[in-house]
């Protein structure tokens, strides 16, 4: 399909730093190619703003191929925009109409303070990972292959959970700004595999404690998170986290 040119109006959240209250500013863009990605459209907007001597819109981005988890904004009320299982950088302008007004806001959560415009501080996720999202047992030298058998369906589920890129859309979409989908994916990818078993109790307790301390909300099973997740992570992982935490708190160490 040949690219078309569309004219759009964008309302972008502008905020100079964490302390100053921000507001939505309206900008008009013409000649936006429908083959552009959403971030390329923002690049065009920033060119235009720079030419006008105005401050460009600050937004996070890195790989622009949907695998790094750096980009993200709430487009017309939906994290990463209207396309399912698509990061903002992989969202294309062909999904928008000529003359459409698009509202672009940062991910909002107390645990994700806004640094500037659309950039939020997601280091709370890093601190959750640092609390237990790793395997630290010293397992010695590698054993023979196939010594430890892993059922295919468990390996698949672990890989599905490991697809999480930590973008934070789940928190942005959650009506309670809970981080359960992220934490559950990180817990699941290890809980499902033998390497993760030695530390599973410590991991569940430590990661949930930090999650709570960072100021994320409580899961209300609203299922918004799995609907915006660019990697299609299922809330089955949240049920697994619920089991892991229950097991970690109820069962005593031998």
Partner 1 sequence: MSWFIQTCTSSLGKKYIMAITGLMLGGFLLVHAAGNSSIFWGRSAFLSYAEHLHSLGPLIPVAEIILLSIFLLHVITGITLFLQNLQARADRYAVSKPAGGRTWGSRTMPYTGAAILLFILMHLFNVHFIEHNLPIADTVNAVLSRPFYTHLYAAGMTVLALHISHGFWSLFQTMGINHPRYNTLIRIGGYLFTGLIIAIFLFIIFLLLFSPGYLM
Residues within the interface to partner 1 (CB under 8 A): 11, 13, 24, 74, 76-79, 103, 105, 108-111, 173, 175-178, 208-209, 211-212, 215-228, 235-236, 238-243, 245-246, 249
Using the minimum distance from each CB to partner 1, give the nearer residue, 177 or 193.
Answer: 177
Count Cβ atoms within 10 A of the Cβ of residue 17 and give its class: 0-12 exposed, 13-18 middle, 19 or more buried.
exposed
Smallest distance, partner 1 to C-beta of residue 176, A: 4
Structure tokens belonging to residue 60: 């996070």
DSSP summary character for residue 246 = H
Using the minimum distance from each CB to partner 1, give the nearer residue, 26 or 50.
Answer: 26
**Of 191, 185, 194, nearest to 150 (Cα)?**
194
Contact between residue 220 and residue 175 where contact means Cβ atoms under 8 Å apart: yes
Smallest distance, partner 1 to C-beta of residue 30, A: 23
Count Cβ atoms within 10 A of the Cβ of residue 138 and give its class: 0-12 exposed, 13-18 middle, 19 or more buried.
exposed
The three-state secondary structure class of 11 is strand
Which residues have CB under 8 Å from 63's CB, separation 6+? 70, 89
Using the minimum distance from each CB to partner 1, give the nearer residue, 16 or 148.
Answer: 16
In terms of DSSP bridges, do strands 5-14 and 101-105 run parallel, antiparallel, or are they unpaired? parallel
């Amino acid at each position: 399909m040949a690219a078309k040119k569309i004219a759009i109006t964008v309302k972008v959240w502008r905020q100079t730093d964490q302390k100053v209250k921000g507001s939505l500013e309206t900008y008009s863009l013409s000649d936006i190619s429908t083959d552009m990605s959403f971030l390329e459209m923002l690049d065009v907007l920033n060119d235009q703003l720079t030419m006008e001597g105005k401050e460009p819109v600050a937004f996070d981005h890195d790989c622009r191929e949907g695998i790094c988890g750096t980009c993200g904004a709430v487009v017309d009320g939906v994290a990463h925009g209207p396309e399912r299982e698509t990061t903002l950088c992989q969202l294309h302008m062909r999904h928008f109409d000529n003359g459409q007004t698009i509202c672009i806001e940062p991910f909002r959560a107390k645990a994700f303070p806004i640094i500037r415009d659309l950039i939020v501080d997601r280091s709370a996720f890093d601190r959750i990972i640092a609390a237990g999202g790793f395997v630290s047992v010293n397992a010695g030298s590698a054993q023979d292959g196939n010594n430890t058998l892993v059922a295919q369906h468990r390996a698949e589920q672990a890989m599905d959970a490991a697809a999480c890129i930590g973008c934070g859309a789940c928190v942005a979409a959650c009506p309670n700004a809970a981080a359960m989908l992220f934490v559950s994916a990180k817990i699941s990818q290890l809980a499902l595999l033998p390497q993760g078993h030695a530390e599973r109790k410590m991991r569940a307790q430590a990661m949930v404690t930090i999650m709570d301390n960072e100021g994320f909300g409580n899961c209300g099973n609203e299922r918004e998170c799995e609907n915006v997740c660019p990697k299609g992570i299922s809330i089955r992982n949240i049920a697994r986290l619920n089991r892991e935490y229950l097991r970690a708190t109820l069962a005593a160490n031998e």
